[in-house]
Structure 1
């Protein structure tokens, strides 16, 4: 039978130090991962953009456009309508990416089939963000960010 060693102040101090080092190490790893994966910037000049936000929002709402995005069988489709009629534009650009990281972003130039805009793209299941940029024929900029949730059974 071996004798038990007494619990000394030094042992307790080392246990506390080890626990705090583990907690701090985990926090540092999580902070590094969060800061390294999130782009953080929506625009380089947020103050200037904010000054014109309301004017652009009113002009965009006056277009009365509805936008809807669907994904199926390796193809993303944008339905852009006004009063139930398809909006026909020469240049519609779409950026698709994850909501929290920019390394998955892909910029697509959409094709038009007379009813909707589409492009081939392979997306994994999860939370995606679709950013639409185009200009109306009267020169009004149209910008829309649409969340796109892809379930694992729809890939």
Structure 2
């Protein structure tokens, strides 16, 4: 049996720390590569108007629901049970975890609901909408749509 000397100990430590550094570099690279970017430049400034916007949105009294039947996504706005047809500014249908599968939902209004064709595999999807009421009030909401496999 060989005796452990200084070179062996150095090799063991170098291999161990080299492994740790390699794993950390891999994780850091993947984190930076998959980072979608900032939502806002300054979250403090963005939060200043949040309560006022939320109160105005809640004052609309809208109930919003979405459902997926096949490839057709339907979106309903209602106030006191009656359909509402706001102007939809943006509607993005995608996964909660990545923007890679995001699709712009091009809604058309008919018979009290908005419909759009989208492609969705099984799992949880988010519909992120921004709409404007007739009085100019901005409405935004994220609706979770579960697609069964």
With the shorter chain as reference, the TM-score category is 0.7 to 0.9
**Normalised by the size of structure 2, how large is the TM-score?**
0.85
Counterpart contact for 2:88–2:129, Cα < 8 Å = no
| TM-score (structure 1 length as normaliser) | 0.82
Q: Structure 2: how far apart are the matches of 1:54 and 1:88? A: 25
Name the counterpart of 2:69.
72
Instruction: Provide the aligned C-alpha RMSD in A.
Output: 2.1
Q: Secondary structure at the match of 2:111?
A: coil
Structure 2: unaligned runs, 5 residues or longer:
none
- Alignment-derived partner of residue 123 in structure 1: 120
Shift of 1:90: 4.1
Identify unmatched segments of 5+ residues in structure 1: none
The Cα offsets for residues 11-63 of structure 1, whole Å up to 9 and x where unpaired, read as: 23212321222222122212221222122422245343222111111000000
**Is residue 129 of structure 2 the alignment partner of residue 132 of structure 1?**
yes
Q: Cα 1:126–1:32, aligned 2, differ >3 Å: closer, same or farther?
A: farther
Equivalent residue pairs, number: 149
Q: Matches of 1:75 and 1:92 in 2, distance apart?
A: 19
**1:82-123 CA-partner distances (Å, limit 9, x unpaired):** 122221224353112222332322222211221321211112
Matching residue within 4, 8, 24 for 2:5: 8
Aligned-partner SS, 1:66: strand
